[in-house]
């Protein structure tokens, strides 16, 4: 009997060919069709209309004044219309995750327009009305705590418009090191997650320049550092610095090379003499309210003799935006993280892009063979496809728990997604299953996602910008997990008349980072703050005296910092509650303290009608791709390498095809029965 005829293709062969071609067919979806399915990043097309200036942002200049632990930052964006038609410029740009944005104004020639804070929808209505009436107007909105959108309407031909934004933030030292970060570019956000029921947000549909193409907009930053203690060293992992010293306590810092400086975060690290974290108290007596900030130094970490075995799940992003340098940095990090596991530990690896796959059905013992197997799988990845973070997190959190060990989930990603709220909620709902640590990989990561996931998971965020940092950061994670610095913390105020204290409960201290407490006080400062807890060496107690000696008019930023902290806490609670019951409270805080929030915006409007027709061309100001990110991050519908699920499908198809070929070969040799 002839089983298969070599002259006649089987249905199996046709099926296998179709199966193998599925990834190719999926990659050929036209860009405009994909764009209709969801708003997403795109590459800018210049020169479409010669009369319209397509690059109105000329430069961004940043001035930073650091006094003690508070940074005050002024950002000036200059827009100029060198075309022949009135413009509306739209620019999406990043900010610090800790920024309390408290002021904005617009300089139009010799006139100054001071912005007012408004409820977000009201500000948008006022802006649209001014634009239609032909008046120059500027609108600043918060899309995320670290992503802002600026709209400037009716920029007339020849206009040179300067928009100034001011914010303040707290610099909290860790392991004796202070760090100031100024983000310069928003990485492209993947928006196609099926979990996002309300549809993608318009701000994510912004244009980008191609990989390696420098931004035509200039960038410069100057930092004035005034420290009460002599500055020991200053360094930057991101930019070459030009440092001048008045003396050991007063430094001026600028860029030694301004070329292509705005495609990555500006990171400034500095240490003070002694490297010892000191507790401190700052007080500000306002017109109607008084504010305080307490920073209590934790004890030094000490080696732990008995280390409890742990289970680790490494959740690794291998999507298109990770292709190249970010993924290679992730591989170096994972070699350190997995390679240094203890024999008593267990682990698993989950790779995700548009789909996800696990290294093993359940956690594996950290044997030499299993570690080598995991590293080989990770090393084989190239990066490609979309970024479905939520399904990956859900699968990692659903893994069966082991009764004899605690679990830590370690997420490694650049964070170029727009599902931050969904991720935070999912992690909070599963706190009884695992703690979570997040590594942001790259030159301009989504710090809101990385820091927010770690905060929700009661872990710690890490940012790795260079492959050379992988060893130190892997060691730091291990040290934190094995030996928390301070646990079971309680803060009490003895004899001090304080209220509106935030945070209401202090989380465990994992690193040598001060405990930070904000609040308000009544009357003359008195009494003391007492912090107790359990350190690795035994019970811990520290106290700070509330004294008028700590009051200073220079501490006025505490008003904004307290409100910013309260808004962040309410936003976290809002995620836990799952409804809009706290919207009014957050909005009221923004209006009362003149702060930009997710529900309040800054609006500045000129009283002069400068464009009687009200007609203008809208221009989306393009951004450079972050340093190290390839074109695969934009239009991620076309994967560079197969998804994890595609690899599995190809393996099955390959096995079936091999089986079919063997049967076919045997059939050729067989002789039909007479």
- Together in a domain, 393 and 531: no
150 in a structural domain: yes
- Together in a domain, 457 and 521: no
The H or E element that residue 473 is part of is: helix 470-482
5 in a structural domain: no
User: Quick one: pLDDT band at residue 646, thresholds 50, 70, 90?
Assistant: low
- Tell me the Ramachandran region of residue 183: left when phi exceeds 0, alpha when psi lies from -120 to 50, beta otherwise: beta
Q: Where among 433, 454, 482 does a domain terminate?
A: 482
Give the per-residue pLDDT at 288: 93
Q: Using one digit for the tens of pLDDT, what is the confidence trace for 195-231?
A: 444 456 889 889 999 999 999 999 999 999 999 889 9
79 in a structural domain: yes
User: Quick one: pLDDT band at residue 250, thresholds 50, 70, 90?
Assistant: very high
40 in a structural domain: no
Residue 46 has pLDDT above 80, yes or no: no
Q: Using one digit for the tens of pLDDT, what is the confidence trace for 335-392?
A: 999 999 999 999 999 999 999 999 999 999 999 999 999 999 999 999 999 999 999 9
Number of Cβ atoms within 10 Å of the Cβ of 274: 11
Give the per-residue pLDDT at 253: 98
For residues 593-603, average pLDDT = 98
CATH number at 520 reads 2.60.40
36 in a structural domain: no
Q: Where among 450, 482, 514 does a domain terminate?
A: 482
Which residues span the domain enclosing 201?
49-274+594-620
Contacts of 85 (CB under 8 A, 6+ apart): 51, 52, 157, 616, 617
Give the per-residue pLDDT at 574: 81
Contact at 8 Å (CB) between 4 and 663? yes
Domains held by the chain: number:
4
Q: Using one digit for the tens of pLDDT, what is the confidence trace for 92-108?
A: 999 999 999 999 999 99
- Together in a domain, 68 and 180: yes
Q: How far, in Å, CA of 389 to CA of 398, rounded?
A: 14
Share of the chain above pLDDT 70, in %: 85
Residue 652 has pLDDT above 70, yes or no: no
- Together in a domain, 528 and 468: no
For residues 529-538, average pLDDT = 88
Give the per-residue pLDDT at 33: 37
- Together in a domain, 212 and 177: yes
Structure tokens given for 28: 């050929």
Q: pLDDT: is 595 or 674 the higher one?
A: 595
The H or E element that residue 565 is part of is: helix 558-577
CATH number at 327 reads 3.40.50.410
For residues 24-44, average pLDDT = 53
Give the per-residue pLDDT at 638: 38
2 in a structural domain: no
Q: How far, in Å, CA of 501 to CA of 520, rounded?
A: 7
Q: pLDDT: is 384 or 643 the higher one?
A: 384
Q: How far, in Å, CA of 262 to CA of 259, rounded?
A: 8
Give the per-residue pLDDT at 17: 45
- Together in a domain, 350 and 420: yes
Residue 184 has pLDDT above 50, yes or no: yes
- Together in a domain, 251 and 202: yes
Enter the pTM of the model: 0.86
Choose among 248, 46, 278, 43: nearest CA to 173. 278
Contact at 8 Å (CB) between 140 and 103? no
For residues 327-337, average pLDDT = 95
């Amino acid at each position: 009997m002839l089983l298969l005829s070599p002259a006649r293709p089987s249905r199996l062969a046709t099926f296998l060919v179709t199966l193998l071609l599925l990834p190719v067919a999926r990659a050929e979806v036209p860009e405009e069709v994909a764009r209709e399915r969801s708003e997403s990043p795109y590459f800018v097309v210049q020169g479409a209309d010669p009369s319209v200036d397509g690059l109105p942002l000329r430069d961004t200049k940043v001035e930073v004044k650091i006094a003690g632990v508070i940074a005050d930052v002024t950002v000036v964006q200059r827009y100029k219309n060198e075309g022949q038609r009135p413009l509306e410029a739209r620019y999406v740009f990043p900010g610090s995750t800790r920024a309390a944005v408290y002021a904005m104004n617009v300089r139009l020639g010799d006139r100054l327009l001071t912005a007012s804070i408004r409820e977000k929808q009201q500000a948008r209505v006022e802006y649209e009305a001014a634009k239609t009436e032909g008046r120059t107007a500027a609108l600043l909105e918060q899309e995320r705590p670290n992503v802002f959108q600026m709209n400037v309407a009716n920029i007339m031909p020849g206009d040179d418009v300067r928009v100034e934004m001011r914010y303040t933030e707290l610099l909290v030292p860790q392991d004796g090191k202070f760090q100031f970060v100024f983000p310069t570019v928003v990485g492209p956000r993947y928006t196609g997650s099926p979990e996002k029921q309300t549809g993608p947000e318009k701000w994510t549909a912004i244009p980008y320049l191609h990989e390696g193409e420098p931004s035509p907009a200039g960038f410069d930053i100057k930092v004035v550092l005034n420290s009460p203690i002599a500055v020991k060293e200053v360094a930057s992992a991101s930019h070459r610095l030009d440092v001048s010293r008045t003396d050991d306590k007063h430094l001026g810092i600028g860029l030694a090379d301004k070329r292509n400086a705005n495609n990555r975060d500006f990171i400034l690290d500095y240490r003070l003499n002694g490297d010892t974290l000191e507790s401190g108290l700052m007080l500000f007596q306002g017109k109607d309210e008084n504010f305080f900030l307490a920073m209590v130094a934790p004890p030094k970490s000490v080696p732990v003799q008995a280390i409890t075995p742990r289970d680790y799940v490494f959740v690794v992003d291998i999507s298109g935006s990770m292709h190249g340098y970010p993924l290679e940095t992730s591989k170096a990090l994972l070699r350190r993280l997995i390679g240094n596991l203890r024999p008593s530990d267990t682990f698993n690896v989950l790779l995700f892009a548009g789909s996800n796959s696990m290294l093993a059905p359940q956690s594996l013992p950290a044997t030499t063979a299993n570690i080598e197997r995991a590293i080989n799988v990770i090393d084989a990845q190239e990066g490609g496809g979309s970024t479905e973070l939520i399904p990956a997190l859900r699968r990692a959190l659903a893994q069966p728990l082991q009764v004899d060990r605690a679990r830590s989930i370690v997420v490694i990603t650049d964070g170029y997604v727009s599902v931050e709220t969904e991720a935070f909620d999912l992690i909070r709902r599963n706190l009884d299953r695992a703690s979570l640590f997040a590594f942001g990989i790259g030159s301009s990561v989504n710090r809101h996602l990385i820091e927010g996931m770690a905060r929700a998971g009661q872990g710690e965020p890490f940012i790795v910008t260079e492959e050379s940092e992988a060893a130190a950061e892997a060691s730091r994670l291990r040290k934190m997990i094995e030996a928390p610095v301070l646990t079971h913390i309680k803060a009490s105020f003895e004899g001090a008349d304080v209220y509106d204290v935030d945070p209401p409960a202090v989380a465990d201290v994992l690193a040598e980072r001060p405990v930070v407490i904000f609040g308000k006080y009544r009357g003359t400062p008195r009494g003391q703050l007492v912090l107790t807890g359990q350190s690795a060496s035994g019970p811990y107690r520290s106290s700070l005296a509330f004294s008028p000696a700590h009051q200073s008019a220079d501490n006025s930023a505490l008003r904004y910092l307290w409100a910013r902290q309260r808004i962040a806490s309410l936003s976290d609670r809002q995620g836990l509650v799952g409804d809009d019951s706290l919207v009014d409270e957050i909005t009221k805080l923004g209006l009362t303290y003149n702060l930009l929030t997710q529900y309040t915006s800054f609006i500045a409007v000129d009283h002069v009608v400068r464009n009687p027709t009200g007609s203008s061309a809208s221009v989306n100001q393009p951004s450079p791709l972050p340093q190290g990110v390839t074109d695969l991050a934009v239009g991620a519908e076309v994967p560079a390498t197969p998804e994890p699920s595609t690899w599995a499908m190809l393996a099955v198809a390959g096995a079936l095809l091999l089986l079919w070929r063997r049967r076919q070969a045997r059939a050729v040799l067989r002789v039909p029965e007479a």
